[in-house]
Structure 1
Amino acid sequence: MCTSAADTQDTMTQSSDSSSLGLKAWIMAQIDSGLYPGLEWEDKEKRTFRIPWNHAGRQRHCNDVDSAVFKAWTVHRGKYREGMDKPDASTWKARLRCALNKSPHFQELKDLSQAHIAESYKVYRILATESREKDEDSFSYAEERRDLRLTPAYPPNAPVSEASLDHFATDGYTCGMELECYYKSMPVCKWQALHANGCCISSRKVEIHDERIFGPRDILQFRFPNTEQISDHRQRLHTDSILKHVERGLLLLMTMNGLYAYRLCMARVFWTGPCAEDPNNPNKMERNVWVKLFDSRQFIHELGLYMHMLGPIPRFHVTLCFGERLTDKCGHAQHVTVQVEPQFAKRMYEEALLTMYPSCSYIEISPQNPSDELLIILKMLLQNINDCD
């Protein structure tokens, strides 16, 4: 049953006290307060909690109740003043979602979240990191990159040896990405990124590299090719107009926990991928916020289900569309798109097909190398996770 606007406002007032609290302390205080229906501990000892995540379009959605915790965070951050600013529930929700996603203190547990039930919710774990509480509106790239690597690849109760995780974290192959750029449906270039510090995709060479504008120096720099190869004049002009606004670029970082993106450019970026909140509609990437595009553990779990005929083919492709809203999952109708594949996921999927369909064993293969040894470790991780589940 929906509460009144007055009751909700009283909740806002109580929750906005101690405005100096960072996100981690604030969330814990709100959970313990019991002020918000659905915001509760999933397992307090494991520091996991539920947060209500009902969609506004659903019949059971009640604006005052379902938006209360998101509004409270916005009020707490001084981004909304009752009676002065226009209420915007979708913006409130996006603000808290972005704060949770980019904070090093939280990890979403997608396998425990419920998005397709009447009372939808997400589950997060509060991580015990050594980094101090930061202002959620002022993260630097270097801080995010360091803190992402503090995030464990698997929950503490997963039966994975420390030696395996060390190999998984330090071997350059696990940080690898394969990228292919398209101008409409025409492939124009391929890139391979094995650099553990990530890469940046942009439209121009930086003459004077200011890290506050273009991100860190110690990452691979990929440039969109010129548009001279486009024969259609109107398409070429449209493509050039988009690339003009991609000067600052998009940062991509592959860690043992997954694939992340950080949008610096003025051109809007829309994407589809395994971690998309709504896989059937375009997902807009916020600017200056880390967005998780691919989750390694989720992929390994889904691959295990697929190999046992218990689930569909796991997704590991990510489509990035620059300057236009995606109209199809492949992005072939748009002017500038990039397809991204984590290398280890592609390799594991190919190995799974050979395991499932032995008739393909006649394919010629090369001698084993260090990357193949890593694949053996990944398969052991997969078996361990299946045994645990």
Structure 2
Amino acid sequence: GRKRNRHLHLKEWLVAQIESGKYEGLCWEDEGKTMFRIPWKHAAKKDYKQTEDAALFKAWAVYKGKYKEGRDRADPTMWKTRLRCALNKSTDFQEVPERNQLDITEPYKVYRIEQDLSHHDSSRSLQLKTLPNYSKHFVHPSEQQNAANFRMEVRLLYQGQTVTKVITESLDGCFILQGHVPLGNEQIYGPCSAQQLSFPSPGSAALPDCLAEAMNRLLCHLERGVLLWVAPDGVFIKRFCQGRVYWSGPLAQHADRPNKLEREKTCKLMDVPSFLNALQNSLQGKGPTPSHEIELCFGEEYPDPNVPKTRKLIMAHVLPLFAVELLQRFSLGQTEEKHQNLTSNAKGKKID
């Protein structure tokens, strides 16, 4: 039972630390308490003192059970990376770079607490209760169950031809990018434990020379790529590359014109509670099967009513596997007859 009580979200935990006044330099930036400063001293600085300057990062590692005094080696750089990644991935926070002061004696970063998401929490828990067995696993998962829920099938397509297909295994998600994430740049790129999916060279698809050239030009601008991950409440993406990225998916604003991803902003592509809700309605015959497919288009506008997607140079097709598995599970459960057909179609593959 001890674990259950410990689960404050990062937002509640951080606000409690700011209010406690225990950490030098961790304080509110404005009277309305919408922004806060977080001390950000580099470990290589002469006046860096681990006990003080790493205290907050260490506290988060201890809180999350990642560091235990006397058991684990002290690793201030890793602690800082963990908290920074948690801040970057959370939709509750947005960094305010223009207020950062990184070149002064006591450097700090400023983050804004995004208010508009806080009131969804109660409706979220209500919606999740509606598919009791599934959502329970999803929200309080065992490690193994956990990993399964966060996997995605990602396909990269060059002019409609699949050139790579992977099932992601990392809880930190997946980088789709040109080349590799440079080591030591976690403050820019987020967690290095995210799986890396590099664009294959255009030569791997049978493309005419003029197209291969255009693709090479486009790939140059995709070096920092996008980071894509599944969290308990949805599928998220953050664009780092210079090249523009467009998308379609369950939360896309437009179905018939382009949806652009803003650079270095976390964007939600799919909402789990809405999906579970729609699935429930669908099972009761009150609505269509909910959509769960996400498409990314690199360097060209998408959706684009004038150009079929098979003509787009570089696309990614993403399926969150928890949704695929749920749809399979429930459509199998509907009728015995359907189940017989599917089992025979599966050519001996075991379907539970």
TM-score, normalised to structure 1, is 0.55
Structure 1 residue 358 displacement after superposition: 3.7
Aligned to 2:256: 280
Aligned to 1:155: 124
Aligned to 1:293: 269
Aligned to 2:14: none
Aligned to 1:95: none
Structure 1 residue 303 displacement after superposition: 1.3
Aligned to 2:191: 216
AA of the residue aligned to 1:298: S
Determine if the alignment matches structure 1 residue 176 to structure 2 residue 145.
no
SS at match of 1:283: coil
Aligned to 2:243: 267
AA of the residue aligned to 2:264: N
Kept after mapping to 1: 8 A contact 2:91/2:266: no
Selected match of 1:166 from 116, 140, 159: 140
Kept after mapping to 1: 8 A contact 2:218/2:243: yes
2: CA distance, partners of 1:264 / 1:315:
26
Structure 1 residue 348 displacement after superposition: 1.2
Kept after mapping to 1: 8 A contact 2:149/2:322: yes
Selected match of 1:337 from 284, 294, 315: 315
Structure 1 residue 192 displacement after superposition: 1.0
2: CA distance, partners of 1:184 / 1:134:
35
Alignment of 1:184-333 (within 5 A): 184-206=159-181, 208-228=183-203, 229-326=205-302, 327=304, 331-333=309-311
Kept after mapping to 1: 8 A contact 2:226/2:241: yes
Change (3 A) 1:324 1:153: farther
AA of the residue aligned to 1:220: Q
AA of the residue aligned to 1:20: D
SS at match of 1:348: helix
Q: Structure 1 unaligned segments of length 5 or more: list them.
A: 1-18, 26-100, 106-132, 373-389
Q: Structure 2 unaligned segments of length 5 or more: list them.
A: 1-28, 36-87, 101-110
Structure 1 residue 367 displacement after superposition: 5.7
Query: Which string of whole-angstrom CA distances, capped at 9 and with x for unpartnered residues, describes residues 103-142 of structure 1?
Result: 744xxxxxxxxxxxxxxxxxxxxxxxxxxx8754579xxx
SS at match of 1:247: coil
TM-score, normalised to structure 2, is 0.60
Determine if the alignment matches structure 1 residue 352 to structure 2 residue 330.
yes
Structure 1 residue 152 displacement after superposition: 5.7
AA of the residue aligned to 1:223: S
Selected match of 2:30 from 2, 20, 40: 20
2: CA distance, partners of 1:357 / 1:241:
52
1: CA distance, partners of 2:90 / 2:142:
23
The alignment's C-alpha RMSD in Å is 3.6
Deviates more, 1:324-333 or 1:233-242: 324-333
Kept after mapping to 2: 8 A contact 1:214/1:249: no
